[in-house]
Structure 1
Amino acid sequence: MKIVTLESDFLASSFRELGHEVFYIRWDTEFAEKKNFLQVNRPIYYRDLLTIFDKYSFQPDLVLWHDVGNIPRVWGLEALECPTVGFFVDTYCNPWHIPYSYAFDCSLVAQKNAVPLFNEDDYAKVNKWFPLFYNKRRAFNDSVIRDIPVCFVGTVDSKQNELRKKFLDQFAKFCPVLVKKGAYQPLFARSKIVLNQSAACELNYRTFEAAACGAAVLTEDCDNGLLDLFTPGENILPLYERGNARQAADIALEMLNDEKKLTEIAASGEQLVNEKHSSIARAQEILDSIGEFSGKTRRRLASGEFIRAKLMLAAMFICGETKTVLPLNMINHFSEIAKTYQQRWDKVALFR
């Protein structure tokens, strides 16, 4: 099968490992191209995609757009004649996810509690809970010694998570914790416990990545399917109440004093994510689901007016972003996209 992945390459290597041909396209400020990879330095539209497919002699059987937490740089996917999948991760801070999802035959939703939001209106696309995972090229256990008792790696001062710094500062008053930004694997693989905290009770990548690096995961009771995937006290540490730094620190200190139990939980968590929550497992799940949504493509192509209204709404949502202040040129850009989608389907030259 020929698969195009857009924005993120988290699943590209796994599709290849499963025997499929993959072409990866991402947006960046620079331009770069090599075999089966293209980095473009401007937004991509329908005609651009067709040009790329023709230039590289790559006619996809499946197109996967993978949310990377930024505003979408790809528009016109709703006009593609092959099955399309959108993978939505941070819906809690991106309300445009919902209307944008109508560009796809199937919406994979990382946060279980958000799935019902994608079911609005009587429209036959597939919406599925699709938990996050770890990529074995990025998260792996090469530990020689675990000399870091408790570690947190991530952004501390994000506008999307203003409570994190306060939580980490409070935790540090009761239990020492190494807090860093940047590459997580070298630190997770040296840590006995990886402390996790979310922005909005979402089930995040860190949960899976820390376990894959062989650390015991200490996370909050975040719902969103956490207890469907993990068992506290067995493959992750007991949960702490969201925002309760003292409780989290007490759990960490108690587990550090029980080295045998801590090691058992870490090993059980690593085994679990290796077996069920790797990028390979998720890639295979998508492939196994193709029959479920591939028949929706014709319906999507015949629903231009309905879908165009949804994508116009998505562009308008982005223009009105409040958490992230967009520069004026970007606001104007998405305003033009919204206006374009207002036109008649057969006159949308930009997208079709």
Structure 2
Amino acid sequence: MRIACVGTHLVASLRRMGHEVLDLHPPGGIVDIAALLDAHGFAPDLLVQQETLGARVILAGLETLRCRKAYWAIDSHLNMHWHRHYARLFDVLFTPHLSLFRALPPQWRHPQAVHLAMSGHARPWQPHAGRGHDVSMVGVLDKHRPLRGWLADLLRRHFGVQARQGVPFAEMLALYGDTRIIPNESIGFEVNFRLTEGASCGACVLTPDVGPDQDALFDDGHEMVVYADGLELLEKLRFLLRRPNVGERIGRAAWERVQAQHLPDHRAATMLEAVGTAPGNAATGMAGAEALWLTLFHRMRTDVLNLPPDAVPTALDDLPETPASMAARLRAVAEPPRGQAPLPVRETPALADVLDRLLATGDHADDVDVNVAAAGAALIRGDLKAAKPFWYRLHQARQLRQPDKPQSVYHACLLWAELLRREGRDAQPGFTYDPERHCPEAAFEMLVLAQRHNGGDLEWMRGVERLTSRRKALTFYRLGILARLALEPGAPWRTQAEYGLTCLRAYRVEQGLHELAEAGRRATAEGQERAFLRLLDGYAPGGHLRRGLDVAPAASPVMPSATPPDAEADISPDATAASPADGGDRT
């Protein structure tokens, strides 16, 4: 088979399998793939593109290729806002984060998404007795990774481990090969490179519980050690340090699993098998052109792609109108450039014309994204009157229950946030939402916009708490909200307990134990000790919370109940800024 590979590391594996492979590594940006293939005189049977970290490559012209196409999305936990559009241009979507795609609303999912984690590395086995480090941590520490910073501090204080940054890849693997235990942390509670890298080097990887994507790679207790929170990490790390034979046995089993199932040859075989049995799903013709322009638009919104301001509306005007294209067109004409305030609706003729037409024709009245884009365009301008009709027409078209009446811009944002939450559109990690210019797409973004208009009352805090309870990736924001809710007059002991549990998940162990101990005392005073213990056991059936509270220090008079963390409950633009996904940082 003739295979064109764009940015993949599977070329050698595919050639060993007997295929003719064209190895392409174009620079970042928009690349005309048809012209590039013509320049090489290569007509592929299959095109495989792997997302590369750093400057992303967007292939234009995919809809014109007659071959099968596959995309390996590596960083979907930070790039889902454009991956869901770009993936439509491919027959098969491969991803380490299959659970994230399955959690999307049905209309955003790819019909052929396949679990394919990052490859491991073929390295020789090194017995643990000859290794020079008990524990090593390598990773970027910055304001975008607050939980990792708290983990690094925890390891430094308890074990003297100094986290390392900026380590070249080859040196990092050498360090892992000279280390017995590697604590892992992931920015969005997703399976990440550190897991397979550490396992490839035969280290015992101590990793957070991120769910089925990770469980499909290694077995907990046999090939990796999974922890629920910072307290359990400390407990299991102390055990592994006391019992080095256990850590070596787990590291050896993980290394053997990599050699047997997780090397590039295995990934190449899995990819070809899935492509060979998949139906043709890639968007072609006008649908393919739409998918490309939607991808480019969402890249533009994050300021990583520069195109003329009118490029997207002009391109979408030339395509058949669909709900997805209309929602993008609304946002394109409604959102001002960075640093410019949005003009009122009637002073933005292109926006006013689209809003008027939608209301006059009733087009897309039952589509959530069109209506939330239209309402959001008005709400970022503080225009409740222009936003209301889109709230009501969606409910009428879908025959939903009698809707609440928005009483203010703030109230309208809260209502939309709750509707989007029920629709499964919780958040878009990796997209830095700016309430000064971006029309919201997800519930979390509506709550950020609500905060801008009224900011931080009890109803708003409870909305954020409900939303963050469903997404571990929002743990940092949940921490701040629960700190404030726990301080509210009359707050129940359960709120303080939930704050304590979230502190533990965020590696703030001493604070978490303090809050849980205080919540337990309050529960006992109210005759609800059994309910408190059931809460502990439901969260930690293995008993690490009970053990931790037995040795928890007495409440300090200088540490008041529900002391807020070193971050306010603020989800302003700076707080919602995610790791710059195009910065080339893997760790």
Instruction: Give the TM-score category using the shorter length.
Output: 0.7 to 0.9
Q: Tell me, in whole angstroms, the C-alpha distance in 2 between the residues paired with 1:118 and 1:206.
A: 26
Match of 2:45 in 1: 61
Q: Indicate how the Cα distance of structure 1 residues 236 and 300 shifts in structure 2: closer, same or farther if over 3 A, else same.
A: same
Distance 2:141 2:109 in 1: 40
Q: Distance in 2 between matches of 1:76 and 1:308?
A: 8
Equivalent residue number for residue 311 of structure 1: 292
Cα–Cα, structure 1 residues 50 and 19, in superposed 2: closer, same or farther, change >3 Å? closer
Q: Could you tell me which residue of structure 2 aligns to residue 241 of structure 1?
A: 228
Q: Is the 8 A contact 1:315 1:334 kept in 2?
A: no
| Cα-to-partner distance string for 1:292-330 (whole Å, 9 max, x where unaligned) | 22x516x743xx222322322221111112xxx53xxx3
More strand by share: 1
Of the candidates 52, 55, 59, which is equivalent to residue 74 of structure 1?
59
Structure 1 segment 75-224 matched on structure 2, within 5 A:
75-94=60-79, 95-116=81-102, 120-121=106-107, 125-136=111-122, 140-141=123-124, 143=126, 145-157=130-142, 159=144, 161-180=145-164, 181-182=166-167, 183=169, 184-224=172-212
Change (3 A) 1:143 1:336: farther
Does structure 2 conserve the Cα–Cα contact (< 8 Å) formed by 1:112 and 1:131?
A: no
Instruction: Give 1:260 deviation, angstroms.
Output: 1.4
Alpha-carbon contact 2:98-2:113 (below 8 Å) kept = no
In 2, Cα distance between the equivalents of 1:89 and 1:226?
A: 14
1:255 positional shift: 0.3
Q: What 5-or-longer segments of structure 1 have no aligned partner? A: 29-40, 346-352
Q: Assess, with a 3 A threshold, how the Cα gap between structure 1 residues 169 and 5 changes in structure 2: closer, same or farther.
A: same
Equivalent in the alignment of 1:17: 16
- Which of 4, 29, 32 matches 1:45? 32
Q: Unaligned 5+ residue runs, structure 2?
A: 321-587
Cα pair 1:149 1:177 within 8 Å, conserved: no
Whether the 8 Å CA contact 2:34–2:65 is kept in 1: the answer is no
Give deviations 1:229-269, integer Å, cap 9, x for gaps. 322221112x2224x2x432332221011021111111111
Identify the structure with the greater helix proportion: 2
In 1, Cα distance between equivalents of 2:309 and 2:21: 29
Aligned 8 A contact 1:312 1:342 in 2? no
Q: Structure 1 counterpart of 2:280, which letter?
A: K
Per mean C-alpha deviation after superposition, the further-off stretch among 199-208 and 65-74 is 65-74
Q: Which residue of 1 aligns with 2:318?
A: 343
What is residue 332 of structure 1 aligned with on the other side? 307
Task: Flag as ranges the 4+ runs of structure 1 deviating above 6 A.
Answer: none
Which residue matches 1:38?
A: none
Which protein shows a greater Rg? 2
Q: Residues 211 and 228 from structure 1, CA distance in 2 versus in 1: closer, same or farther, beyond 3 angstroms?
A: same
Judged with a 3 Å threshold, the aligned counterparts in structure 2 of structure 1 residues 257 and 4 are, in CA distance, closer, same or farther, namely same
**TM-score normalised by structure 2 residue count:** 0.49
Tell me the equivalent position of 1:35. none
Aligned-pair distance for 1:105?
A: 0.8
Assess, with a 3 A threshold, how the Cα gap between structure 1 residues 342 and 310 changes in structure 2: closer, same or farther.
farther
Q: How has the CA–CA distance of structure 1 residues 192 and 73 changed in structure 2, closer, same or farther, with 3 Å as cutoff?
A: same
- 8 Å CA contact 2:2–2:20 kept in 1: the answer is yes
Decide which moves more: 224-233 or 118-127: 118-127
- 8 Å CA contact 1:313, 1:338 repeated in 2: no
Distance, in Å, in 2 between the alignment partners of 1:313 and 1:288 is: 30
Aligned AA (2:5): T
**Amino acid of the structure 2 residue aligned with 1:262:** G
Give the C-alpha shift of residue 81 in structure 1: 1.1
Kindly indicate whether the alpha-carbon contact (under 8 Å) linking 2:84 and 2:109 is maintained by their aligned counterparts in 1: no
Separation in 1 of the partners of 2:160 and 2:97? 31
Aligned-partner SS, 2:119: coil
Structure 1 counterpart of 2:148, which letter? R
> Counterpart of 1:221 in structure 2: which amino acid?
D
- Aligned residues: percent identity? 21
Rounded to whole Å, the distance in 2 between the matches of 1:59 and 1:168 is 50
Look up the SS of the partner of 1:163 in the other structure: helix
CA contact (8 A) 2:92 2:275 kept: no
Amino acid at match of 1:272: R
| Secondary structure class of the residue paired with 1:165 | helix
- The whole-number CA distance in structure 2 between the counterparts of 1:14 and 1:335 is 44
Higher relative contact order structure (alpha carbons within 8 Å, sequence separation ≥ 6): 1
Q: Distance in 2 between matches of 1:21 and 1:14?
A: 11
Aligned Cα root-mean-square deviation (Å): 2.7
CA contact (8 A) 1:27 1:73 kept: no
Cα 1:341–1:274 shift into 2, 3 Å: farther
Q: Per-residue displacement from partner, 1:29-51 (whole Å, max 9, x unpaired)?
A: xxxxxxxxxxxx76311443233
**One-letter amino acid of the counterpart of residue 317, structure 1:** H
Change (3 A) 1:113 1:296: same
Q: Is the 8 A contact 1:118 1:127 kept in 2?
A: no
Give the Cα separation in 2 of the matches to 1:259 and 1:312.
54
What SS class does the counterpart of residue 5 from structure 2 fall into? strand
For the residue of structure 1 that corresponds to 2:224, the secondary structure is: coil
Distance in 2 between residues matched to 1:229 and 1:78, nearest whole Å: 33
Report the 3-state secondary structure (helix = DSSP H, G, I; strand = E; otherwise coil) of the residue aligned with 2:227: coil
CA distance in 2, matches of 1:67, 1:27: 12
Who is 2:547 aligned against?
none
| CA deviation map 1:31-86 (0-9, x unaligned) | xxxxxxxxxx76311443233332xxx32121111112444332222221110001
> Do 2:180 and 2:203's aligned partners in 1 also have CA atoms closer than 8 Å?
yes
CA contact (8 A) 1:311 1:338 kept: no
Match of 2:487? Answer: none
- The number of residue pairs the alignment matches comes to 312
Task: Quote the Cα distance in structure 2 between the aligned partners of 1:247 and 1:79.
Answer: 53
CA distance, structure 2, for counterparts of residue 142 and residue 10 of structure 1: 23
DSSP-derived class of the 1:331 partner: coil
Summarize the Cα distance change of 1:86–1:172 in structure 2 as closer, same or farther, 3 Å threshold: same
Structure 1 residue 103, shift from structure 2 partner: 0.8
Structure 1: how far apart are the matches of 2:108 and 2:307? 32
- Distance in 2 between residues matched to 1:337 and 1:119, nearest whole Å: 24
